[in-house]
Structure 1
Amino acid sequence: NLIYGRFLYVDDLVTDASRRGGQWGARLLQGLERVARAAGCAQLVLDTGLANARAQRFYFRAGLYTGALRFQKMLGGG
């Protein structure tokens, strides 16, 4: 994947429901940003589902923005 240059990709950023509101998600993002900067990454990239409005609001508040819309097609099989 060369679209972003050197980047840190986060597949799943999850905070246990009982821990939400305790700034754990923000702490995780801050830690990931430090790791990415130390590794010389130009970007921190993550995905979330279109229906996950709560996560999207959180990411916007954390300073992330939408830079793309990913399309996919299920092909069946394994």
Structure 2
Amino acid sequence: KTLANGRCEDLLTIANAELTEGLFKLSFQVSKYFESTNTRSLYPIIDVIVDITNANENYHLPLLLNPYGYSTYRGS
């Protein structure tokens, strides 16, 4: 679940985990959000696979979505 601003700022703390190098799949379960706004959506779950090559760097991974599309990128 995200904060009011749409961010999940303490993801690793919640998971009691540390960031390590490797491939990871982030699964965004967006169907409940769209259902709560009474909006039909083509994508109930959005999977984003990332390759973490340096665990000491900061990774900001925005997901922008609408009912029929989405985009993601590495932010600053």
Provide the TM-score with structure 1 as the length reference: 0.29
More strand by share: 2
Provide the TM-score with structure 2 as the length reference: 0.29
State the structure with bigger RCO (CA 8 A, min sep 6), 1 or 2: 1
More helix by share: 1
